[in-house]
Amino acid sequence: MSLVTEEKIIEALSTVMDGDKSIVEQNMVQGLQIKDGHVLFSITVDAAVGAQAEPLRKEAENTIHALEGVLSATVVLTAETEAHAHPDDVVPEPRPEAPLLEGVKAIIAVASGKGGVGKSTTTVNLALALRDQGLKVGLLDADIYGPSMPRMLGIKGEPTSSDGKLLDAKEGHGIKCMSMGFLVEEDAPVIWRGPMVQTALTQMMRDVAWGELDLLLIDMPPGTGDAQLTISQQVPLTGAVIVSTPQDIALLDARKGLNMFRQVDVPVLGIIENMSYFECPHCGEHTNIFSHGGAKEEANELGVDFLGEIPLDIKIRETSDRGHPIVDQDPDSPHAKAYQEIAKLIWDKATTVLEDKAAKSPKIVM
Ligand code: ADP
């Protein structure tokens, strides 16, 4: 099979028209990356056009996907920060300056030092536990390397736009959700880098109709690199929670996460130890496969609260794989209870942070 080249892609995209000129001619194709037959780029559109450009995005994606040597094509829409003034256009107000996530009271990032520690599984179960406390909860799946929220919340289909401007947040088990997984096929290897991550995330925060929420949880990409730092700097985070496994604690990955949030003045609400111990489903024996308890000690040492521990249990994996995470499927089970207790702690702490902020902000005295 012949390898796809940048020239071939540009040539093919020269046939994709936006109005009477191609997207290449109008310099709308940005950030083209090709890796082992996987192609990724963005199409920059006027912020006012927003989701209306979805057919254009799809056409570009299909055009590239049809090329020989292309295994996957991933195209995202990014909005231009400066809207052009077209005198003839009767366009809705552009939103480049719109505040990110307006209508959301608290925003909490769920982070981990590395991938595979169960961050997403923990996030979805916490979201469901917070929902059961009567809160309106949203979940932004920013885990661009492995977006799994649509599957875990049992959500299917592509996002729609009711007003032609903003994407509607999807909903699963009463949780509003927006995920890269809606825009990218789940098994397509995605190699998001630097500015692409940033624009795509900003779009998810600015161009999605989240509505009024008590709390938005952000499932962060794993690790503590540029993408994570960008989110922490750009989003008005109320706080962050770090998920780690006992080994991860031992390898100090979680410590890096903690330092990153401290660097940008985001309060770390605490550490959760996942896959903390194993309880035999047959005999009930409690086994510490890894050096259990490391997170608690580490948290103490670092001056961060320890929020709780979640056991390693196949039920936790199976239920979320099926789109019915354990807190939803079996809320009275001991594992669901563990998530519920942690969720309660997190909400108490977030409320305290919000109250402190409100007390410190200047008041207008009439
Ligand atoms: P991350 O978001 O950190 O990459 P995931 O949440 O995707 O991790 O979890 C990685 C794998 O581990 C998934 O298959 C998930 O179902 C499983 N998993 C996560 N937490 C647990 C747990 N407490 N018990 C059993 N399996 C778990």
Q: Is the pLDDT of residue 208 over 90?
A: no
Residue 125: CA count within 13 A, CB half-sphere: 31
Q: Is the pLDDT of residue 202 over 80?
A: no
- From residue 180, alpha-carbon distances to 77, 86, 151, 254, 338 in Å are 12, 31, 12, 24, 28
Q: pLDDT at position 83, please? A: 37
Same fold, 6-89 and 104-360: no
Domain ranges of the chain: 6-89, 104-360
Over residues 76-130, the pLDDT tens digits come to: 877 664 433 333 333 333 445 556 788 899 999 999 988 889 999 999 999 999 9
Query: How remote is the CA of residue 117 from the centroid of ligand 1, in Å?
Result: 6
Helix 226-234, helix 253-263: angle, nearest 10: 40
Q: Residue 175 in contact with residue 190, Cβ under 8 Å?
A: no
Q: Is the pLDDT of residue 213 over 80?
A: yes
Identify the helix (H) or strand (E) that includes residue 30: strand 29-35
Query: How remote is the CA of residue 351 from the centroid of ligand 1, in Å?
Result: 28
User: What's the count of helices (H) and strands (E) in the chain, helices before strands?
Assistant: 13, 16
Residue 144 Cβ contacting ligand 1 at under 6 Å: no
Report the nearest atom of ligand 1 relative to the CA of 318: 16
What phi-psi label fits residue 71: left (phi over 0), alpha (psi between -120 and 50 degrees) or beta? alpha
Q: pLDDT at position 82, please? A: 43
Q: pLDDT at position 74, please? A: 79
- Complete DSSP assignment for 88-102: T---PPP-TTSPTTT
Residue 116 Cβ contacting ligand 1 at under 6 Å: yes
CATH C-level class of 104-360: alpha beta
| CA 251 – CA 301 distance, rounded (Å) | 15
Residue 47 Cβ contacting ligand 1 at under 6 Å: no
Model pTM? 0.74
Query: How remote is the CA of residue 311 from the centroid of ligand 1, in Å?
Result: 11
What is the best residue among 121, 125, 140, 278 to mutate for testing ligand 1's pocket, by most ligand atoms within 8 Å of CB?
A: 121
Over residues 301-357, the pLDDT tens digits come to: 888 999 999 998 999 999 999 999 999 999 999 999 999 999 999 999 999 999 998
Asked: is 6-89 a CATH 3.30.450.20 domain? The reply is no
